[in-house]
A and B are shown apart, each in its own frame.
Chain A
Amino acid sequence: MALSLVSRVCMRQILSQHRALSMYYTESHEWVNVQGSLGRVGITDHAQAALGDVVFVDIPEVDLDVDVGDEIASVESVKAVGDVASPIGGIVVAVNEALSDSPTLVNSSPEEDAWIAEIEISDMSALEGLMDKEAYDKFLLEG
């Protein structure tokens, strides 16, 4: 049975709000999207704008054991090589191979398609130290 257009729009809004609720941010401009015990990690739109055109992403290997704050990836842009620190601790269970062929995904879709790694979170309390979207947006405004 086909859903009406209105219902579909509502579903999409509910889903994106659900996603938004599970998004957390760090002061060093990384994000983690938590679904159950898995966290997908990437860098924010603010970070990619500051970096400029991305030319290479050095993604981690699956099974890597990371602690909160460990370097999980490096990103080279036309301006510099910078680090991505993991907001959470755990084991890397998946990596985004698309970034090897298309590093510019970081610029075009930093908070969705350019996720870097998926981590099986070892300690959910790490999320308590992170900001939600509202807090992060406020943090950006305060410069």
Chain B
Amino acid sequence: HNLALENWILHQGREKKLLLVYQNKPCVVIGRFQNPWREANVNMASERGIDIARRVSGGGTVYHDLGNVNFSFFTDKPSHCPNRNLQFLADSLNRRYSISHLHLNKRHDLFIGSSKISGSASRIIRTGAFHHCTLLVNSDLTTLRGVLHGDSTISSSATASLSSPTTSLSAECSADVTTRDVIDHVTEEFLGAGREPTVGLWSAEEEQEEDVLIVDHVPECVLNVEHQTFEWVFGKSPKFSVVVGDGVMVHVEKGLVCQVDGWDHDPSLIGTQYDPQRLQALLGT
């Protein structure tokens, strides 16, 4: 729902800069042209009630939970500058927590030493742009590492994630770091002295002048029902092939099985949603 809000704000054509801050309950978020089966353990996600979402920006797959904070910097097209945003974020965190070895790389990631704490992506349209990034404050890194482990045998032109070892702020800092504290500090620095962020209800009708919005509610009219469908989350995967059983190759387009080689299968299989577990069960493997 927060992703729907981001997309909605982008299409409003705002001229003033906006920093949106939001958190999600556990979910895997894949990039616009990625393959969820290749990037994540879809089974494990399903078993644990972890949603899978596809965002409109590019980049790789990330895991969100309530220990992660998302920052979304909205600007007009000429002012779009992820480097500036990340430098601001890094400086801000350093001022508060005095983290040594906190640095940016060329891929717009934030690292502490050789472990990643933040990944970025951007979306640019004619009337504006946003750059958003995650920040692992005190996320469940065990679940993160487990669920971001997909089927690497899948053959596809979909964009691949670049895997990095991860860590969180709380794991690296001696201070007691909470998401609340991080949000308060960063938004205060963004706004400057004497100004308060808006928290809570975002009204779709009012002209929003505020520079920082901390989301706690997304109104119905902003929700993008289309983005909650199988067709969007799984179906937008570029076509791919994968070996399922012994010498059995499955070709998938728009998330649906379109061809199977090496198996005398039931014709009704064609056109069904790709489901590796079900296929393996049918094959008896």
**Residue in A closest to B125 when the chains form the complex, CB atoms:** A83
Interface check B157, CB cutoff 8 A: yes
Q: How far is the CA of A130 from the CA of B259 in the complex (A)?
A: 44
Interface check A3, CB cutoff 8 A: no
Q: Mark A21-44, 1 if CB is under 8 A from B, else 0.
A: 000000010000000000000000
Residue pair B107, A78 in contact (C-beta under 8 Å): yes
B125-179 contacts to A, CB under 8 A, are 125-126, 129, 131, 157-159
**Residues of A contacting B157 with CB < 8 Å?**
56, 100-101, 103
Interface check B124, CB cutoff 8 A: yes
**Residue in A closest to B239 when the chains form the complex, CB atoms:** A100
Selected from A28, A76, A80, A103, the residue in CB contact (under 8 A) with B129 is A80
Residue pair A56, B238 in contact (C-beta under 8 Å): yes
* A76 touching B159 in the complex, CB below 8 Å, given contacts A58-B33, A81-B57: yes
Q: Mark A53-87, 1 if CB is under 8 A from B, else 0.
A: 00110100000000000000010111111110100
* A56 touching B33 in the complex, CB below 8 Å, given contacts A77-B58, A78-B107: yes
Residue pair A79, B122 in contact (C-beta under 8 Å): yes
Q: How far is the CA of A74 from the CA of B124 in the complex (A)?
A: 10
Residue pair A28, B238 in contact (C-beta under 8 Å): no
Chain A: number of interface residues, binned into ranges? 10 to 19
**Residues of A contacting B19 with CB < 8 Å?**
none
**Residues of A contacting B238 with CB < 8 Å?**
56, 100
Q: How far is the CA of A56 from the CA of B159 in the complex (A)?
A: 7
B80-109 contacts to A, CB under 8 A, are 80, 82, 107
Selected from B107, B124, B158, the residue in CB contact (under 8 A) with A81 is B124
* A74 touching B32 in the complex, CB below 8 Å, given contacts A55-B58, A56-B159, A100-B238: yes
**Residues of A contacting B126 with CB < 8 Å?**
28, 83, 85
Q: How far is the CA of A100 from the CA of B240 in the complex (A)?
A: 12
Q: Mark B47-84, 1 if CB is under 8 A from A, else 0.
A: 00000000011100000000000000000000010100
A70-112 contacts to B, CB under 8 A, are 74, 76-83, 85, 100-101, 103
**Residue in B closest to A81 when the chains form the complex, CB atoms:** B58
Residue pair A82, B124 in contact (C-beta under 8 Å): yes
Residue pair B33, A80 in contact (C-beta under 8 Å): no
**Residues of B contacting A55 with CB < 8 Å?**
33, 58, 159
**Residues of B contacting A103 with CB < 8 Å?**
157
Interface check B123, CB cutoff 8 A: yes
Residue pair A80, B159 in contact (C-beta under 8 Å): no
Q: How far is the CA of A142 from the CA of B36 in the complex (A)?
A: 43
Interface check B212, CB cutoff 8 A: no
A positions within 8 Å CB-CB of B: 28, 55-56, 58, 74, 76-83, 85, 100-101, 103
B positions within 8 Å CB-CB of A: 31-33, 56-58, 80, 82, 107, 121-126, 129, 131, 157-159, 238
Given contacts A82-B124, A82-B125, A101-B157, 7 further A-B contacts (CB under 8 A): A56-B157, A56-B238, A74-B33, A76-B31, A76-B58, A81-B56, A100-B157
Q: List 9 A-B contacts (CB under 8 A).
A: A56-B159, A76-B31, A76-B33, A78-B107, A80-B57, A81-B122, A83-B124, A85-B126, A100-B238
